[in-house]
Amino acid sequence: MIMALQDKYKELLDAAKASGVINLQQREQDNVLYVDGEAPSGAVKDKLWNIYGTIDPDFRAGDLILNISVATAVPGAKAKVTTESTSLNIRKGPGTDQPVVGQAAHNEIVTLVSKMNDQWWLIRTNSGIEGYAFAQYLSPQ
């Protein structure tokens, strides 16, 4: 099965290597391919998620765990969390089906790493939580 998953996600793995992802590791366990590493920029991380989305639209297969973080704190714009009153969920990937990795408090100022698209932005909190948040609740500062 390991070859099948590596073949299925060959485009993503090749792109990760070609884009300069460091500490790139992959392992297969229980029919799931785990890919870890550090991307040199938010744009590279976004590119990998875009490739993942074309291979597995809506991330339905559940056979890939993409654990790619951005290697350095990219100096980026600040954004304010503008939820009504609740915290903003920060997710592993760009979609409400992706697991929540943390939260940003109402009115918290976060760092914008990159804009995946008009809906999902890659952000980092002051405490170091990095992930995708719904752009509707972020206001550039």
pLDDT in tens, 40-78: 888 899 999 999 999 998 888 999 999 998 865 445 778
> Which residue segments constitute the domains of the chain, with CATH numbers given?
2-70 (3.30.460.10), 78-140 (2.30.30.40)
Residue 1 has pLDDT above 70, yes or no: no
Half-sphere exposure of 52 (CA within 13 A, CB side): 26
Say which amino acid occupies 34: Y
Q: Rounded to two decimals, what is the model's pTM? A: 0.63
* Residues of the chain above pLDDT 70, percent: 94
With left for phi above 0 and alpha for psi between -120 and 50, is residue 98 left, alpha or beta? Answer: beta
